[in-house]
Structure 1
Amino acid sequence: MKRAAALKAVGLGLGALAGALTIIWLASGAALSLLPADSVSGLARAQASFPAELETRSYANPGGIVAQAPGATELRLKRFLDRVVYQARGSGADALFDAVTGERLSPLSEDLVRQVATRDYVGPGALETLERIDAAAALPGLPAPLWRARFDDGLDTQLFISPFTGEVVARRNRLTRLHETLRAWHLLGANGRGAFALSLAAIGVLSLALSGAVALGVSAWMGARRRAKPAKK
């Protein structure tokens, strides 16, 4: 009987573990639904931008721009801050050029990146730090290098700006990081970034299977003992 009780306790423990993981899955899903989408994405504190009309004037020869951007497959004329620029795109050719003088602007200076950050951000905070990050390991999920602008607004808002195009490629804050953590738990690591959560998922599934197997084993063992026990006369 002691062995049966021990096996039953193991089965109950495994079932409890599986139940706890189910609660985590449900709770993380409920928490995700409560987070405001605009705040998570950072758009709640981003300046709304609209295409600006270009001036009617002479611009630098596009051929000269392409010659400065080997590998370019696309050339676009657009407004950037207070000037009109050519934006070249291609394999290793992303860059900005002054559309009037043809001067190459990329990689952007710290002053230009600062202007991009302060114009893009709309919120109660001020620019706290601006640093260029070249190590890919420090930018998980983002292309290096990037400039990181951090604002002291209570949410630790961070803008990641390309030094080649001046585009804000990502916005992150405390709610973004909370959302990523909850999502990793809710998806049980299916997005490839929650290895620990994935391990818990495997443990949960295994726990369910083992608890069922233990319950069946205990039932079969006790039934066999009853059948093997000689009947009293």
Structure 2
Amino acid sequence: MKIFRWSSQVHKWLALVVGVQVLFWVGGGMLMTMLPIETVRSEHRVAEAPAAAVDPAGVVGAAEAARAAGVAAFSKAELRSTRRGPVWTLTPVEGEPVTVSAVDGRPLPPLDGAEARRLAALGYSGPGRPVAATFLPVAPEETGREGPLWRVDFDDRERTSFYLSPETGEVLTRRSELWRFFDLLWRLHVMVWDDGEDFNHPLIIVTAAASTIVVLSGFVLLWFRLLPGRRRRRTDIGKPG
């Protein structure tokens, strides 16, 4: 029948085109669901430590810190404790946030490699040791951040990397070989090979529509093959005369 032949051709050729991507969807999705997301995010490598209390008597006010930092006007001021002491993070009306010491309002001294390794080790939990500290003037794409960062690598099984603020030494994000493998699966899954963010793009919509047609045409073929009359004709053809 015409509809049977049409369904067969559509099913065959479209399956050849989208088959690899369907494999990425199914196989990659299966692998991603098998990997605990907490492990992918290296949450098991974070050492829990209570934040130190900030003594109000030992810090300057936000206005004084802003004057010392040269911030004319700010829309937000956040006081918090870090391993390098209390800091003010001032968000100007225009421009990027500025982080200064809450003790005197001045910029914190530059973080060096030895201190970066020490602070990373304090925030790390596991068998690894910090083996390398690298200052990165531009944040790598995998961090999802902007600006300079310190990267400290550990020699554990996952090859964990901590990315630290060059000002406060705080661990801003964590990455590992497991995270990078998961990220590769995700990019293949959503068919985005640059930053893996936008998955509402025409390519995936067209591929998903073509895959749907493959499935529907497969159901049509299955229905024709399971028709009682068609089964009898195929049986009759195989009988000796």
Partners of 1:188 and 1:194 within 8 A in 2: no
Cα distance in 2 between the residues matched to 1:208 and 1:98: 59
Match of 1:114 in 2: 117
**Distance 1:201-1:25 versus aligned 2 partners, 3 A rule:** farther
Q: Which amino acid aligns with 2:174?
A: R
Partners of 1:96 and 1:105 within 8 A in 2: yes
Partners of 2:164 and 2:171 within 8 A in 1: yes
**Distance 1:133-1:198 versus aligned 2 partners, 3 A rule:** farther
Q: TM-score, normalised by structure 1?
A: 0.70
Partners of 2:79 and 2:89 within 8 A in 1: no
Match of 1:89 in 2: 90
Q: Which amino acid aligns with 1:95?
A: T
Cα distance in 2 between the residues matched to 1:181 and 1:40: 12
Match of 2:235 in 1: none
Cα distance in 2 between the residues matched to 1:194 and 1:98: 36
Q: Name structure 2 gaps, 5 residues minimum.
A: 218-241
Identity across the alignment (%): 22
After TM superposition, list the pairs within 5 Å mapping 1:142-221 onto structure 2: 142-189=145-192, 193=196, 202=206, 205=209
SS of 1:65 mapped into structure 2? helix
Match of 2:225 in 1: none
**Distance 1:56-1:146 versus aligned 2 partners, 3 A rule:** closer
State which drifts further: 27-36 or 109-118: 109-118
Match of 1:27 in 2: 27
Q: Which amino acid aligns with 1:94?
A: V
CA RMSD of aligned residues (A): 3.8
Match of 1:78 in 2: 80
Cα distance in 2 between the residues matched to 1:198 and 1:161: 37
Q: TM-score, normalised by structure 2?
A: 0.68
State which drifts further: 43-52 or 147-156: 43-52
SS of 2:75 mapped into structure 1? strand
SS of 1:68 mapped into structure 2? helix
Cα distance in 2 between the residues matched to 1:93 and 1:82: 18
The reply on whether 1:129 has 2:132 as its aligned counterpart is yes
How many residues align? The count is: 208
Cα distance in 2 between the residues matched to 1:202 and 1:163: 44
SS of 1:159 mapped into structure 2? strand
